[in-house]
Homo-oligomer: A and B are copies of this chain.
């Protein structure tokens, strides 16, 4: 159980993040507010880059995923349907003596506020029995603060996607399988926020809900197809050609789930988290939620332990079904391919597929407390829909936390180098080895000297040449060595130095600059005219 923890490293990272403006405590001048963190200038750029890369990878580079931007405050009915109102809670006990409130499962770890030498579980205070404490932040919408005005800050972005599923389906020219993705803030009133920004009360998520056909539907369509020989490839298959991995419109949940696990790991690798820093954890059957078919956690080896970056769950049709039942609005889709295939199935096949579909629906309805006779009737009706081409889509959900990814990128990038100068004095300094794609600053432009007008002017020309294409930092203050060191600490992959050779002191070097690499300090010479084309492919 005991994992290696590197508290010293974590302290250094926290200190660097503050010192260089990656992360500050929220409201620091007022003593802070527990569980809330702000991103400073470098942190805000890093976070933007990551979110932009995710959006691009998940939506803009794909034909079959579209974006959504929903509100944080939604109808409270959504959280009843999702189960959050009833079950998104931690058990808490109150101490009648000290008036403290504690997580019931942490009384062995928390010191008594009145007698800190004892744990809460050992002290003499009279405790209540555990009660559920809901983790959703609650507020009131409108001028009257009564029960009908209660609303919640969303504890996840996913539910908005389910609630708008039909609107998106009807307005975006998509057909199942397709996905809806969203990036945005979510809030959980964690009793014990911890591990820096890893578990905070306000955080950001990047979630995709990828809607797929139930396996029964896939099998119905595929078994008809395979009985027809010599078919031409269909455009629905061609359509997905440009995805990095081949996909098929008629995959079952296992294929889609595996596909998204691989896609997501590939994404992490593409932004600079080596495969060796990641772990896959496949949840055991007994760990899964009752509606889930599988869930894989992608973990990163943080200095404080190996912890989850993202979960990729096969959630069946649970979410859409819940909203269908709670809103009374149909969440099913019509599938022409299924409707056309069904009559061509033999009777045994029809019965078998209907039976399986019926049983899955019955299991869900019963689990939700629907009375048996009614559940059987409903499940039967649902199964009868197959023949008409109707079903409620299933979903694969890759759900990632932005803030913990930012922290993982910083932890992974953190490295130290010790250098000894001519006088034998050695100094240890930090290099943040970000992948150029995520680095807050892509290139620093540095005139060798500040007080030489020609150097400054030329450097500013170079800055203005690059700036429309990437985030450029211009710096003319201090020795060139110190400026390099500052950029290393900010994670800037390239420095461009304008010196007297640039101005033509050595005629053969006129209008060339020095490019210095962050990771090894190596330098090379490049013509200004080639600079943009040299840099662009490296940072994209």
Which residues of A line the B interface, CB within 8 A?
Answer: 18-21, 24, 26-41, 43-45, 47-48, 52, 55, 60-61, 63, 66-75, 77-78, 92, 101, 133, 137-144, 151, 153, 160, 163-164, 166-168, 171-173, 180, 182, 185, 187, 189, 191, 201-202, 232-233, 235, 238-239, 241-242, 323, 326-327, 329, 450-451, 453, 456-457, 460, 463-464, 467-468, 471-472, 474-477, 486, 540
Residues of B within 8 A of A47 (CB): 69
Interface pair A61/B21, CB less than 8 Å apart = no
Residues of B within 8 A of A187 (CB): 73
Q: A477 to B185, alpha carbons, bound, how many Å? A: 36
Residues of B within 8 A of A69 (CB): 38-39, 43-44, 47-48
Interface pair A144/B101, CB less than 8 Å apart = yes
A392 to chain B: closest CB distance in Å?
14
Interface pair A30/B68, CB less than 8 Å apart = no
- The contact sample of 10 A-B pairs, CB cut-off 8 A, is A18-B171, A24-B167, A30-B75, A33-B71, A37-B71, A39-B68, A41-B171, A44-B67, A101-B143, A185-B185
Q: How many copies does the complex hold?
A: 2
Q: A375 to B70, alpha carbons, bound, how many Å? A: 48
Q: Known contacts A75-B32, A185-B72; decide if A460 and B241 are in contact (CB<8 Å).
A: yes
A243 to chain B: closest CB distance in Å?
10
Interface pair A31/B242, CB less than 8 Å apart = no
Q: Which 5 A-B pairs have the closest CB atoms?
A: A27-B75, A21-B171, A41-B66, A44-B67, A39-B69
Residues of B within 8 A of A329 (CB): 29
Interface pair A36/B71, CB less than 8 Å apart = yes
Residues of B within 8 A of A450 (CB): 235
User: Looking across the interface, which residue of chain B has its beta carbon closest to that of A233?
Assistant: B453
A530 to chain B: closest CB distance in Å?
18
Residues of B within 8 A of A137 (CB): 73, 139-141
Q: A66 to B138, alpha carbons, bound, how many Å? A: 33
| Secondary structure dominating the interface of A | mixed
Residues of B within 8 A of A464 (CB): 242
User: Looking across the interface, which residue of chain B has its beta carbon closest to that of A470?
Assistant: B60
Interface pair B171/A20, CB less than 8 Å apart = yes
Q: A253 to B307, alpha carbons, bound, how many Å? A: 50
A75 to chain B: closest CB distance in Å?
3
Q: A153 to B73, alpha carbons, bound, how many Å? A: 11
Q: Known contacts A36-B73, A171-B18; decide if A471 and B60 are in contact (CB<8 Å).
A: yes
Q: A71 to B138, alpha carbons, bound, how many Å? A: 17
Q: Known contacts A29-B163, A242-B463; decide if A173 and B475 are in contact (CB<8 Å).
A: yes
Interface pair B27/A74, CB less than 8 Å apart = yes
A29 to chain B: closest CB distance in Å?
4
**Among B38, B52, B75, which residue has its beta carbon within 8 angstroms of that of A160?**
B38
A72 to chain B: closest CB distance in Å?
6
Interface pair B68/A40, CB less than 8 Å apart = yes
Interface pair A21/B477, CB less than 8 Å apart = no
Residues of B within 8 A of A45 (CB): 67
Q: A185 to B78, alpha carbons, bound, how many Å? A: 21
Q: A10 to B92, alpha carbons, bound, how many Å? A: 51
Q: A346 to B395, alpha carbons, bound, how many Å? A: 76
Q: A182 to B44, alpha carbons, bound, how many Å? A: 9
Q: Known contacts A78-B30, A456-B235; decide if A167 and B40 are in contact (CB<8 Å).
A: yes
Residues of B within 8 A of A477 (CB): 173
Q: Known contacts A72-B202, A189-B141; decide if A460 and B171 are in contact (CB<8 Å).
A: no
Q: A164 to B21, alpha carbons, bound, how many Å? A: 10
A280 to chain B: closest CB distance in Å?
28
A80 to chain B: closest CB distance in Å?
9
Which residue, of A26, A151, A202, A460, has the highest number of chain B Cβ atoms within 10 A? A26
User: Looking across the interface, which residue of chain B has its beta carbon closest to that of A476?
Assistant: B235
Residues of B within 8 A of A453 (CB): 232-233, 238
**Among B21, B52, B164, which residue has its beta carbon within 8 angstroms of that of A28?**
B164
Interface pair A467/B172, CB less than 8 Å apart = no
Interface pair B143/A92, CB less than 8 Å apart = yes
Interface pair B24/A202, CB less than 8 Å apart = no
Residues of B within 8 A of A60 (CB): 467, 471-472
Q: A242 to B73, alpha carbons, bound, how many Å? A: 42
Residues of B within 8 A of A233 (CB): 453
